Amino acid sequence: MPEGTTYGYWEAAYGLMNEAGLCMGESSCSGRLTTVPIDENPHGALFWVGELASVALEICSTARGAIETMGRLAEEHGFYGTPEVEEAGEALTIADGDEAWVFHILADDTGNGAVWAAEKVPKGHATIVPNVFVIREIDPDDDQNFMFSKNLFDVAERLGWWDGNGRLDFTQTYSVGEYTHPYYAGRRLWRAFSLWAPSQNFDPKLGVEVDRPTYPFSVKPDEPITLAKMKSLYRDHMEGTQYDLTKHVTAGGAFGTPNSYAEAEAEHSIEYGACERAISLFRTQDAYIAVTHKGKPGVIHFAIGAPHASVFAPIIVKPNPSVTSIPALENTWQGEFNGNSLWWAVLSVSNMMDLKWCYMIKDVQKAQKEAEDEIDFMMKNKSFDDLEKQTPALCDSLTRRWFELHYTLLGRYQNGYTNWGYSKPG
């Protein structure tokens, strides 16, 4: 690696944002080519997506630079996803203060290289990568909007996946498609696009098809996408639609819980059908909204745990930070309860909500609004330096509040009551 300027960055399993304002998001995708890491086979690959992102955040300040760096390293030293095609590929959304890109990558046919492509999100547009590749036709002559590996076309021709005529469709060539069922990714694509651009009347039943695009790469929102709208999207279970997971008609659980836990033994007896895949899941580790502006400190609005039960706290990202550790967000080991952990506080609320979702969700949303309104007020009235210094204490305070919320729910809905002391069991 060339020596030069390096940047501090925040990460949570995957890289989030560096002090230059470069930020990333990650989504595992299916891919037709797989390999193994070099520690399992000396002819395998060196990099997985987390390490690629970390290296890029450490030495890059722009989205283009990050893509070039990750692509070069993966081509030279190899990329690996999972051994199974369902998650053999990876996608990163990458943005700086000027541009936003979508980056796709998977192994190549040698097992120690990589195939990758990136497409720029048009100005004023928004996109989503819901565990499936979304880049379609590559224009090799448009270097302003496309970047790709040197072997992109050669590998496809060598394997007989592309005849060399016309433009190569990246998804058609290198994707296996949906994880599990036809709407696992497609319904989330539709949900985001329909919320951002309802005037376009997107069809919810198209799903994702490898052989042809069913939805566009990106959309121009009817209205600006606010921070509040993004928080709502992360907490979404398709409420208010015909696929609303909080309603019994779409396989919602008792008292309207949208959570369908995986791998129940009885599910193997069901030959057809599947549960809808919500955006907010009970098993979500974290959700975040990275906000970057040229020449200003970045902000990561970070919600640990399931977004529908969590609260978004701001992490200020800037040069010469005064805060490099937030204990309440770091005490997340799941093997032992920790009363100082915001993760455990959110998990306590999330698990409690399943008992009487249709009632408890109102209490949780009220608590979320109160806390996030207070945070918004802080964001508007304090300097970045002050906000940064107060973040650890803020997260400690949120931890206490969320444990209190858990006990409030326990008391209010104990033993079958809907509002203890004021209502009958039911």
Write down the pLDDT at residue 182: 80
Domain span at 142: 9-180
Which of 358, 344, 331 lies closest to 406, judged by CA?
344
Write down the pLDDT at residue 267: 56
Across-strand partners of 417?
Answer: 425
> Does the pLDDT of residue 424 top 60, yes or no?
no
Write down the pLDDT at residue 269: 60
| Rounded Cα gap, residues 391 and 96, in angstroms | 23
Within-domain flag for 35 = yes
**pLDDT tens digits, 407-416:** 999 999 998 8
Within-domain flag for 393 = no
Q: At what angle do helices 63-77 and 49-59 cross, to 10 degrees?
A: 130
Tokens of 292: 């970057």
> Does the pLDDT of residue 218 top 90, yes or no?
yes
Find the range with the poorest average confidence among 111-125, 180-194, 368-382: 180-194
Within-domain flag for 255 = no
Within-domain flag for 188 = no
| Rounded Cα gap, residues 203 and 206, in angstroms | 6
Residue with tokens 């550790």: 325
Within-domain flag for 124 = yes
Q: Provide the domain count of the chain.
A: 1
Write down the pLDDT at residue 263: 56
Helix ranges (DSSP H) in 84-162: 152-158
Q: Are 4 and 20 in contact (CB under 8 A)?
A: no
User: Could you tell me how many residues make up the chain?
Assistant: 426
Within-domain flag for 301 = no
Q: Are 105 and 116 in contact (CB under 8 A)?
A: yes
221 confidence band (pLDDT: 50, 70, 90): very high
Residue 162 CB neighbours (<10 A): 20
Interval 123-140 mean pLDDT:
98
Instruction: Give residues with Cβ within 8 angstroms of 306, minimum separation 6.
Output: 280, 281, 282, 283, 284, 346, 350
| Rounded Cα gap, residues 329 and 114, in angstroms | 34
Write down the pLDDT at residue 260: 82
> Does the pLDDT of residue 226 top 70, yes or no?
yes
| Rounded Cα gap, residues 155 and 159, in angstroms | 6
Instruction: Give residues with Cβ within 8 angstroms of 120, minimum separation 6.
Output: 99, 100, 101, 144, 145, 146
Q: Mean pLDDT in the chain?
A: 94
| Rounded Cα gap, residues 192 and 353, in angstroms | 25
**pLDDT tens digits, 37-82:** 999 999 999 999 999 999 999 999 999 999 999 999 999 999 999 9
The pTM for the full model equals 0.95
| Rounded Cα gap, residues 403 and 380, in angstroms | 27
Read off φ and ψ for residue 100, nearest 5 degrees: -130, 140
Interval 17-36 mean pLDDT:
98
**pLDDT tens digits, 236-286:** 999 999 999 998 665 667 889 999 876 555 556 666 677 888 999 999 999
> Does the pLDDT of residue 422 top 90, yes or no?
no
State in Å, rounded, how far the first CA of the chain is from the last one.
Answer: 64
Within-domain flag for 173 = yes
> Does the pLDDT of residue 176 top 80, yes or no?
yes
**pLDDT tens digits, 279-295:** 999 999 999 999 999 88
| Rounded Cα gap, residues 73 and 45, in angstroms | 11
Write down the pLDDT at residue 268: 61
**pLDDT tens digits, 96-113:** 999 999 999 999 999 999
**pLDDT tens digits, 369-382:** 999 999 999 999 99
